[in-house]
Amino acid sequence: MVVVVIIGLFAGAAVLSMGLLGSDRDVEREAFRLRSLLTLLREEALMQSRDFGILFTDTGYRFYAYDYQMPGWVVPAGENLFVEHDLDEALNVELRVEDRDLVLDPGFEADEGDEESEDGPEPQIMVLSSGEITPFEASFNRDTMRGRYTLKAELDGTIEISPDGYER
């Protein structure tokens, strides 16, 4: 009987620890996903000589391309990779640009309900055709976890990810 109780305790601890590790992986996966998309977007900007932008909200981010004929920011047509991305409900993103914490809109639904402003959307981050990126930090975390993954982009296009609060 004692052996069964001990085995049950170990099994319960294993299940709980796997759940916590899974949460860490989700946060890490979002940071690495954004880094990969930014790297690809920078290459596209260089090859196509186009300027791109990223608009962050509390619930995700959306990509834009600058159309010089309109002029204004538009959703890139025919793109399969650079589409709107919604984060899992339990994940949060915080954005810091030029050493300022930005207050993000609650989501894209609020934008769609109102008429677009006269100037159209205004992305916080720009990826220019010269290969430069607006320097920023995007931190991904989960309400129930104290750790976070921070993606930091420099002007020259260097992108780094650092885990904060996770034991390795």
User: What are the residue boundaries of the structural domains of the chain, listed by start?
Assistant: 2-164
pLDDT at 115: 40
Q: What is the CATH number of domain 2-164?
A: 3.55.40.10
Distance of alpha carbon 116 from alpha carbon 95, whole angstroms:
22
| pLDDT number for residue 22 | 47
Tell me what pLDDT residue 106 has.
Answer: 83
Nearest to 104 by CA among 148, 71, 136, 61: 61
pLDDT at position 113, please? 41
| Per-residue confidence (pLDDT) for residue 40, from 0 to 100 | 93
Q: How far apart are CA 56 and CA 94, in angstroms?
A: 9
Task: Output the pLDDT for position 23.
Answer: 47
End-to-end CA distance of the chain: 36
- Written as tens digits, the pLDDT of the chain (168 aa) is 777 667 777 677 665 555 444 447 888 899 999 999 999 999 999 999 999 999 999 889 999 999 999 889 999 888 888 889 998 888 888 999 988 999 988 876 644 444 445 667 899 999 999 999 999 999 998 877 678 899 999 999 899 999 887 665
Three-state secondary structure call for residue 3? helix
